[in-house]
Every structure is written in C-alpha cells, then in structure tokens.
Amino acid sequence: MKQRFLFGSAIALVLAAGAASGATLDDVKARGTLKCGVNSGLAGFAAPDAAGKWEGFDIAVCRALAAAVLGDAEKVEFTPTTTETRFTALASGEVDVLSRNSTWTFSRDVDLKFTFAGVNYYDGQGFMVSKDLGVTSAKELDGATVCIQTGTTTELNLADWFKTNGITYQPVPIATNAEANQQFQAGACDAYTTDASGLAASRATYENPDNWIILPEIISKEPLGPLVRQGDDQWADIVRWTLNALIAAEDYGITAANADEMATTSENPEIKRLLGTEGDLGAMFGLDKDWAKRAIQARGNYGEIFAANIGEGTPSNIARGLNAQWTDGGLIFSPPFR
C-alpha cells in the first residue's frame, strides 16, 4: 500500500506543477509573481544577503519590472542560474526574464532565439594583474597564465585576442567568479580576465586593492542587458520600456522619492506621459497608467540603482564612464516616451 502511494504522489506532484502556456504577461499576472533568472552570486550585481533577500544591480531591473507589472517590487521569484544553465532556463520557460549580466551577441539574439530588451550596462573585457609583475599593457602578457570563467563569451574573446596579437597564454578555466578570484590572488594565474565591471568589483574586495592594477586594454564590447524569449513581442516591449523608463527617469530628474510629486507638479509633457498623468501609454501593452512610476519607485531611477549597488562609494566602486547618460558623454540613452 505504502509503495503504491509513493509512486502515485510522484505523478500527482508532476501534474500539480501545471503547464505554462499563452502570453508571458498573462502568465505573470495569473501567477502573481515574476520569475527572474539571475546570477547565483556576483558582488554588486546579484547576491542574496543573510536574510535571503536578493539585491544588486541586475536584481533592481527585476524588481522594477515586478513593480510595473504586478504593482509590488517584492513579488519576484529569483532563480539562480549558472553560465551553463542560464539560457536553457529562459528558453524552457522556467524564468520570464533573464537579468544576469549576459552579453548581447548576434548568435544569442538570432540563433538561440532570444530578444535582448536593451542594455543596462556597457561593459568590456579587461585584464587585472598584480602590480609586482610590472606589466602595463595586456600585449606584454606573452606566455602568461590567465584565469577565465568557463561558459562565457570571455573565453572565446580571450582566444581570439591572443591569436590576433600573435602571443600565447595558458588558460585556467574556473567555474565561478569567487573561485577565480581566490586563484588569482593566490598567484595561480598571472592575469584574471572578465568584464571590467567584474574586475573592479572583485578588486574592491581584495585585502590590499592597491596591489592590483586593471590594464588599459578593453578587448571586447560587452553590452549586458536583460533578455526574454523571442516571439512574445508584448512581453519584450514591457521589459524594454521598463528599462527605458528607469533610464529616462534619471534623464528627467525623477527619483524614487520625488516621483509622486513630479507626476502632479511637472509641466514637462514627456514626464507627464511617462508618469501616467497624461495619455495612457501603459494600456498600449496591457499595463495600467502608473506602471512606470511604480517601476521608478521600486529601487529608484537608473542613476540611483547604479549608485546604490555598484557606483562610487560602494564596495565595487565603479565610475559611470560609458554608463553615464548620453548628455554626460556616456552611452546610456532612452528613446522618447511618445
């Protein structure tokens, strides 16, 4: 009797798990939570704290999205993914959106059938070395041992770059960022290569950050951004314009604190359209009027999110650089809300 029971409830569990179908927005609303795929641990970008609450630069995008769609920034289920599992998790419908420092590339967009909703961080692959080595340029790294994270575009970039420059290297593939840092600090590799943001964030946590230098060469373009499955344009639009709303908010000086006030007092028609006091942009993709205001109030505008998680003064201590607004000489830019 007992044996048959166990078998039976296995079937029941599987069936109870249910099947996903239809438009992603309807699924999310029906479910009441947003399922967001994130990095299982990258300082400043995504990490759970002692209470199990996820915070970080990539997490904030998910929170804003949940606030826009569901009205509550806390209604997010985070699925930690590895570099190997992330795309399958999205393709199989396990997550609604992947916000996990993933590089927008042709083959991922076209061949793997995803839609990148935009870029929330312009990055490039760089090298970090110990000051004692006396290296000032990556081109001097002929014969060096280089730590890399496996399963990422950095692995391929690295091979290409050394080949182009006609120099050799010895790769040390490592599965996680934390382990790679450990190896690098112990001297098991001469250089550590990953996205420059990651290098800066890692260096900040070292015992003596000044002993390590980041080389000037940036060997690749790494536009990182949230992505969704191809074929659900409505959902892709919602993710794209939520991100754009955060960026536009910084441009117009809308912050988490003053969003309510701006909505009523601002005379700027674009701000009024964005915050839902004029027109009804939200209805065009199945949300209400206040979607963007809630998104901004979740964790603040793009600038606030940047400053709180990875900006200067945080452990990562990253300057805005390329990620400044276009008006300040950066690349961060939102198309108009019209």
Partner 1 sequence: MAEVAFVRHEMEPPQAPPSGQVGPARWLRENLFSSWLNALLTIASVALLWWLVSHMLPWFAHGVWNAGSLTECRQIIQATWGEGASGACFAVIRERWQQFLFGFYPVHLYWRPTLTFFLLLAALAPVLVSELPRRLLWFSAAFPGLCYWLLWGGSLWVPIAIYAGFVVGHLAQRLLAAAGYGLVAPFAAALATVLWWLYLVGPVADAFASVVPLALTPVASKLFGGFMLSTVIGMTGIAFSLPLGVLLALGRRSDMFIVKALSIGFIEFIRGVPLITLLLVATFLLNVFLPPGTNFDIILRVIIMVTLFAAAYMAETIRGGLAALPRGQYEAADALGLDYWKSMRLIIMPQALKISIPSIVGNFISLFKDTTLVAIIGLLDPLGLVTSIRADSNWNGIVWELYGFVALLFLLCCYGMSQYSRYLERKLRTDRR
Partner 2 sequence: MTSAEMPGERFRLSMLIYDTRYRSLTIQVIALISFMLAAAWLVNNTVQNLAALGKTFDFGFLGTRAGYDINQTLIPYTNDSTHGRAAIVGILNTFLVAILGCLLATIMGVLIGILRLSPNWLVSKLAGTYVDVFRNVPVLLWIFAFFAILTDMTPAPAAFRGDNPSAQMIFGAVAITNRGFYIPWPVLAPGWQLVVGIFALSVVAVVAFGRYARARQEATGEILPTFWIKAGLLVAPTLLADLLAGHPISFDFPELQRFNFEGGGFIDKSLIALWLALSFYTAAYIAENVRGGIQAVSRGQTEAAAALGLRPNRIMNLVVLPQAMRVIIPPLISQYLNLTKNSSLAIAVGYMDARATLGGITMNQTGRELECMLLLMGFYLILSLLISSIMNWYDARVSLKER
Task: List contacts with partner 1 (CB under 8 A).
Answer: 1-21, 33, 39-44, 47-52, 77-82, 84-85, 88-89, 92-94, 175-179, 181-182, 185, 201-202, 204-207, 315-316
Binding mask 110-149 for partner 2 (x = CB under 8 A): -xxx------------------xx-------xxxxx----
Q: Considering the rule CB under 8 A, would residue 189 count as an interface residue with partner 2?
A: yes
List the single partner that 160 binds among partner 2, partner 1, none, CB under 5 to 8 Å by kind: partner 2
Q: Classify the C-alpha dihedral 205-210-211-215 as positive or negative.
A: positive
Smallest gap, in angstroms, from Cβ of residue 316 to partner 1? 7
Q: Considering the rule CB under 8 A, would residue 260 count as an interface residue with partner 2?
A: no
Nearer to partner 1, 123 or 251 (CB): 123
Q: Residue 106, exposed/middle/buried by CB under 10 A (0-12, 13-18, 19+)?
A: exposed
List the single partner that 321 binds among partner 2, partner 1, none, CB under 5 to 8 Å by kind: none
Smallest gap, in angstroms, from Cβ of residue 141 to partner 2? 7
Q: Considering the rule CB under 8 A, would residue 234 count as an interface residue with partner 2?
A: no
Distance of CA 148 to the CA centre of its chain: 19
SS3 139: helix
Which residue carries 């390590």 as its tokens? 212
CB-based contact 116:194 (threshold 8 Å): no
Which residue carries 């000044």 as its tokens? 210
- Using CB under 8 A, which of 39, 40, 79, 83 touches partner 2? 83
Nearer to partner 1, 297 or 316 (CB): 316
Helix (H) / strand (E) element for 296: namely helix 291-299
CB-based contact 251:334 (threshold 8 Å): yes
List the single partner that 131 binds among partner 1, partner 2, none, CB under 5 to 8 Å by kind: none
Phi, psi of 264, rounded to the nearest 5 degrees: -95, -35
Q: Considering the rule CB under 8 A, would residue 280 count as an interface residue with partner 2?
A: no
Q: Which of 166, 168, 172, 169 is nearest to 186 (CA)?
A: 172
Give dist(CA 38, CA 317) in Å, integer: 21
Residues that bind partner 2 (CB under 8 A): 83-84, 87-88, 91, 111-113, 132-133, 141-145, 150-151, 155-156, 158-160, 163, 169-175, 182-183, 186-190
